[in-house]
Structure 1
Amino acid sequence: MADLKDVNLNRLAIFVAVVEAGSFTAAAARLGLTKTMVSTHLQRLEREIGAGLLVRTTRRLSVTESGRAFYEASCKILQAAEEALSAVSGESAPLRGTLRVNAPIDYGALVVTPALVEMRRAYPELDIELVCNDHYVDLIAEGIDVAIRLGQLADSGYRAVKLGGFVKWIVASPEFIDTWGKPKTPAALAPMPHVALSVLQHPLTLELQRAKGAKQSVRCENVLLVNTADAARAATLAGGGFGLLTDFSIADDVAAGRLVRLLPDWTGKPKGIYAVFPPTRYPTAKVRALIDVIRRRLEPPVNG
């Protein structure tokens, strides 16, 4: 059995980075080390613990059964070490290093970006990178510390913290309403031009509900398909059709009269906003700080 005094704990962090990045090259880039140095550290770690952790071939890198168990334990050790450092340095200690964040394009621009600017003011020694896109991102393969995701979460080994929620409103431009009028029932939406997101599983179908619990499904017959939420908002503002759009993206448009809510008693199904991070026991201090900032920004204003 390996003796703890013979193990260089710094190599645990390198091992975890290799497993999460999926290759020596990607891990080296994340750690700021050379590929040769990463490989050397892993070889020495395997000698120190007396077990093979990785299987290397010319085409791929795989984790052994022992390596998988050691990875889970290493994550807990590193997390415990970080918590111990936070305890002795105080919660007000500056955050350092790099925080890589992934978010949907519209939510990233409207909510996450201002939150990250606030974090930079509070922690000027923290480097932040925001990666926005509207497709699924593999956090481990892409080296993402935390992803902000909307809606129903896919089954995965990731951990998640709920930040808040959102609904979708049925909206249209005043010009659209002048031409088509206001529908009196959800069924009346079916023949109207509709701006829909092609990335949705069923873009031609509206799943609506009322606060009292009534639900209705509407199949749209006249649809303009776009592949981003920003394009859907732009097309709706231009009168290309009515849209079923997120409240956080169009609340200002509705308040300013650029868009009008149709059937305001009806909305899309309420959904959650989540911070998703790799499967360590707890989110890191950097991730916790971002979670706190976003939660605070999502809190409704207090009327005084």
Structure 2
Amino acid sequence: MAGEVNLNRLAIFVALVQAGSFTAAAEALGMTKAMVSQHIARLERELGVTLLLRSTRRMTLTEAGTAFHAACVRILGEAEAAIEQVGRNQDMPSGTLRLTATGDYGTAVVAPALADFMRAHPLLQVDLALSDHVSDLIAERFDLAIRMGRLRDSNLRSARLSSFRQLLVAAPAYLARRGEPRTPAELPGHDWVALALLSSPLRWTFGAPDGSRRTVRARQVAQANNVAAAHALVLHGAGISVLPDYLVTDDVREGRLVVLLAQYALPECGIYAVYPGKQPPAKVRAFIDHLRARLAAAA
């Protein structure tokens, strides 16, 4: 039956027809003449038709053999083209890069980096999905995710891109109303804007200049379910919060926010590219390199 045909024998059959004899085909394929003959005989048995008429001095294709040869040439050509296309995809960014990131980091950092990347690769399309929930890359068909902080255990591959600092900030209007804390011990007396997606949004550990550590528990007056919302609350004087440096750098420089307790350090957090599969395609590798270089230049 056709379903039992060994497809490797199609290539041997095409090589035999092209070579014109069993002896020449065996030399071209690196096989013995007997082995080539066995493969053709088995192929004919699997198909249930005679492909070649043989004599001591020549071979001739039957009508079925002629039609089958044409089909085999087409099939092998399409297979070769498919293999070449896969190779090109591994070497050159192409197709659609589908990636996900958090709303704040995606807007502030990933989207501008993608715009530059697209200019360098005009044939590449981009599908950027921003969400604060951790997407299932395989189920949702993402090529890549940019994730922050500690990574969860998974079967996905990851590459560290950079890191960001966590900054304790408040608006000048809030500080004029409530005063500025000078030590971590004063924080429980202040109004705190909590980020609900954190596992411990009100518990923070500060490293002092002398190397000691102080953990405090803040008093919540408001909470937000994403960083952008917490940022807006702090900007408008609702209270103090810890926000990522990439989000507040411009606000601090332009005086809209003030960094508090600058001599005390909060833990740095990693920025990672996460992707499925051992061998990511060229579009993923290229964007990881592009984003890493961009982050290093901005550091």
Which deviates further from its counterpart, 212-221 or 134-143?
A: 212-221
Task: Compute the displacement of 1:4 (Å).
Answer: 7.3
Scaled by the length of structure 1, the TM-score of the pair is 0.68
Matched, 1:297 2:294: yes
- Residue equivalent to 2:214: 216
Secondary structure at the residue paired with 1:252? Answer: helix
Q: Cα distance 1:182–1:96, how it changes in 2: closer, same or farther (>3 A)?
A: same
Q: Cα distance 1:275–1:6, how it changes in 2: closer, same or farther (>3 A)?
A: farther
Q: Cα distance 1:266–1:120, how it changes in 2: closer, same or farther (>3 A)?
A: same
- Residue equivalent to 1:152: 150
Where does 1:153-172 land on structure 2 (aligned, <5 Å)?
153-172=151-170
User: Rg: which structure is higher?
Assistant: 2
Secondary structure at the residue paired with 2:189? Answer: coil
Q: What is the aligned counterpart of 1:133 among 131, 143, 166?
A: 131
The letter for the 2-side match of 1:218 is: V
Once residues 139 and 210 of structure 2 are traced to their aligned partners in structure 1, the CA distance between those partners, rounded to angstroms, is 43
Task: Compute the displacement of 1:163 (Å).
Answer: 0.3
Secondary structure at the residue paired with 1:119? Answer: helix
Identity level (%) = 41
Once residues 144 and 290 of structure 2 are traced to their aligned partners in structure 1, the CA distance between those partners, rounded to angstroms, is 14
Q: Cα distance 1:178–1:2, how it changes in 2: closer, same or farther (>3 A)?
A: farther
Which deviates further from its counterpart, 176-185 or 292-301?
A: 292-301
- Runs of 4 or more, structure 1, over 4 Å off, are 1-4, 80-84
Task: Compute the displacement of 1:125 (Å).
Answer: 1.2
Asked whether the equivalents of residues 89 and 281 of structure 2 are also in contact (C-alpha less than 8 Å), the reply is no
Asked whether the equivalents of residues 169 and 266 of structure 1 are also in contact (C-alpha less than 8 Å), the reply is no
Where does 1:1-304 land on structure 2 (aligned, <5 Å)?
5=8, 84-85=87-88, 93=92, 95-210=93-208, 213-278=211-276, 280-300=277-297
Task: Compute the displacement of 1:207 (Å).
Answer: 2.6
Once residues 156 and 255 of structure 1 are traced to their aligned partners in structure 2, the CA distance between those partners, rounded to angstroms, is 39
Number of positions where the alignment pairs a residue of Structure 1 with one of Structure 2: 224
- Residue equivalent to 2:70: none
- Residue equivalent to 1:33: none
Once residues 244 and 6 of structure 1 are traced to their aligned partners in structure 2, the CA distance between those partners, rounded to angstroms, is 67
The letter for the 2-side match of 1:284 is: P
Asked whether the equivalents of residues 176 and 240 of structure 1 are also in contact (C-alpha less than 8 Å), the reply is yes
The letter for the 2-side match of 1:209 is: G
Ranges in structure 1 where 5+ consecutive residues have no aligned partner: 8-79
Ranges in structure 2 where 5+ consecutive residues have no aligned partner: 11-82
Once residues 294 and 146 of structure 1 are traced to their aligned partners in structure 2, the CA distance between those partners, rounded to angstroms, is 12
Task: Compute the displacement of 1:85 (Å).
Answer: 3.7
Once residues 5 and 183 of structure 2 are traced to their aligned partners in structure 1, the CA distance between those partners, rounded to angstroms, is 71
Asked whether the equivalents of residues 195 and 240 of structure 1 are also in contact (C-alpha less than 8 Å), the reply is yes
The letter for the 2-side match of 1:295 is: R
Secondary structure at the residue paired with 1:101? Answer: strand
